[in-house]
Amino acid sequence: MSSTSRAPRRVGLAFLFAFAMLWAAVWLLARSRSEVSGVARDLGEENRRFAERLRDSEDRVRELARRAREAESAAGASDAERANAEAERAAARRELFLTHFAAAERALRGGRLAEVERRLAAIPEEHAGWEQAHLRLRLALAVRRVEAHDDEALALARSADGRRLASGSISGEVRVWSAALDELVAQLDAEEEVTALALDAAGEVVAASNADGALIAWSVATGEELARWSGEDEPLALAVLPGGASAVVGFEDGAVGYWPFGAEPRWLDGHDDDVTCVAVSANGERLATGSDDETARIFGGADFGEVRVLEGHTDWVRCAAFDPAGERLATGSDDGTVRLWNAGTGAELEVVEAGEGDGDTVVSVEAGAGSDLAFVTSLGQGALQRGREVQRFELPLARFEYVTAAVLVAGEGRVVFATGDGTLRAWEREPAVPFARLDTADSAVRALAATVDVVVAGCFEGTVHVFDAVTGERRHELDGLQGGVLSVAVTPDGRVAASGGRNGTTCLWDLATGELLRELESTARVASIALNEDASRVLCVGRDGSAELWDATSGTRLSESPGPRGIVFAAVAASAADRFAWVGDAGTLRVWDAASGERLAALRDRGMGRVDALALSVDAARAAVVQGGYRAAVFDLAAGVGLGRMVQSGRSMRVLAFDPSGERLVTGGFRGALAVWDCSSGAKLIELSGGTDTIQAVAFAPDGSRILVGTAAGAVQVWESRAEALALLDR
């Protein structure tokens, strides 16, 4: 075929290729427009299914309670029937606890803080535990409240670097804060009601306008007034350009002015009605304004002379923000929508339904990197979008309370907002994790024990670290030359500690002085150790299931129990030093009296398999085991039956411990996996994450207020549930 005959075919192929590319571009645009709404629909469906499960659970609770009441009140009911009625009542209240707590944790993750309070208050008192107090602490961390002004805060601004915030009030106060609201950096006076407020990108310059028509700029560091200008019309919107030497201002008559500090404003092509918001791109090359004329405008080019008018909103435009690259603009309106625009072409990219309906105004919007987006409405509704993930949230507002001003950071999931009471509140999607970190500066932490005042950590390299539980300060670093500490114990009054090592040595320590009181030599590696209340008895349990009871004062061995002939997977001493337990092959679990050697309890669970860890409750009425790195089981030793069974994927169980009541179990494992479980039902109450290091030791404080976690990196995490611990966590 000649080259001439090929030409029509080439033209046809080129046309088909161009058509295909055009179709693909249209499809991708349509997909980007629907992406947010599609994800939101998926999220709504997930919430609907959870709500249905919640209603079903509450219906079951009511039915169980009804049957319990009927059986209890029936004439001639037998003792067995009454006992069954009481059991059903208890089951109903446990179900109520599990249902409401699951809903409370989900509400906290979704920002529905009022629901968190309501759900926690509905939990029966007898089921109060560490996880609920911990959730209340997280709730306190999720919203910080600062008494910022004596009257209503009308305007908020933040620096682009996220370091500083500014607030302005109806009395003319202008205050600059650290981003965490824990430091007041500057106090300034705008003389009259603040109508607009802005910080430069670095938070070094703050500018404000007042109801008398004045524009004022100050140095944040010195409080010095840098520039002032006054006009006839009231400024309503303000933004400081990068460099802190100029600003763009919107006025009530629709005028837009570029104001170099120390000079007269230069007027730009304005709006037909009040200018309500101003935004500037990070490089200062583009400006944006929004107006009551229902449009937004983008200014660019030389002297900002190029103007693009953005039409699409059906009500007043209240807020605007560029993304970090200055390529997208987000606008929020009284019509309840957020719209995304191409800042270069002015083309509309997406429309997001933001508000609850009439009267719900979008008061703040933030465009993050990529497709990140965030917004807040006057009724406290909001959303944070990261990629395809969209999380709706509700700010904690009282009845008849509304958001007067807000600033937010899409990438950080943080909102600072003001209402009519003069306070500033900071809400965080992922609040600070409420644990303190104590560093041993040593190898892996293999054992933990605590009192109300003291935390004792034993490390693999043979040292014992003693910390003040209140301040976190290290009191002592003790070296028993044990070739590695496998177990530690401490008396309830915190006077004496014991540590057991791989070489069979047990050391007793005076915690007031750090002095070594006595060494005891056992015949086996000390896998678990316990002290009685006055430290007169020490129980050392070997890795082979053997046990030795010592008189701590004289150093005399009082009794010795040899281990079994078969395989022992794990062994543990009871905290009161009066009994011990081990788990062997064929699913055998035995509990023994330490003084007499008498067997106190025995059970067999052939499905138990290999056991990685064993724990006894404080009263030694329950035992728990970890099996295969991903399963745990709890047993009632008196009845010889299994209770709750827990399953968690990913070899996330390695160690475990009971709380003081024996009703909760904490498990830890690889990659920082940490969870708290209900022992009777096996339900996971709460999942925590303190990092990625393998967890090698866990323990509850004796009052149940803290969970101690030892990691392979040599750190001790103290997970709190006490409100008074906030001061320690802040440090």
The per-residue pLDDT for range 521-550, each reduced to its tens digit, is 988 889 999 999 999 999 999 989 999 999
* Mean pLDDT value of segment 44-53: 60
Q: DSSP states of 540-562 as a string?
A: EEETTS-EEEEETTTTEEEEEEP
More confident residue, 67 or 436: 436
> What pLDDT does residue 500 have?
92
Write down the pLDDT at residue 59.
74
Q: N- to C-terminal Cα distance for the chain?
A: 83
At position 30, the amino acid (one-letter code) is A
Q: What is the pLDDT of residue 71?
A: 63
- 426-438 tens-digit pLDDT: 887 666 676 788 8
Percentage, residues of the chain above pLDDT 70? 85
In angstroms, how far is CA 175 from the centroid of its own chain? 29
**Number of Cβ within a 10 Å radius of residue 127:** 17
Residues 6+ apart with CB under 8 A from 653: 612, 613, 626, 629, 630, 631, 632, 646, 667, 668, 669, 673
Give dist(CA 312, CA 295) in Å, integer. Answer: 7
Mean pLDDT across 209-214: 95
315-320 average pLDDT score: 96
List b or e across 285-312, with b for residues whose CB sees 16 or more CB atoms inside 10 angstroms. Answer: ebbbbbbbbbbbbbbbeeebeebbebeb
Give percent above pLDDT 90 in the chain.
Answer: 54
Residue of 109, 200, 186, 190 whose CA lies nearest to 157: 200
Higher pLDDT, 137 or 55: 137
pLDDT at 20 over 60: no
What is the average per-residue pLDDT within 649-674?
90
* Predicted local distance difference test score (pLDDT) of residue 410: 57
Confidence of residue 294 (pLDDT cuts 50, 70, 90): very high
Asked which of 188-197, 602-611, 626-635 is least confident by mean pLDDT, the reply is 602-611
Structure tokens given for 297: 């405008």
- pTM (2 decimals)? 0.71
**Residue 207: its pLDDT value, please?**
97
Task: Write out pLDDT tens, residues 548-567.
Answer: 999 999 999 999 999 888 88
Q: What is the pLDDT of residue 27?
A: 43
Which parts of 485-587 are beta strand (E)? 485-490, 496-501, 505-510, 515-521, 526-531, 537-542, 547-551, 556-561, 568-573, 579-584
- pLDDT above 90: residue 95: no
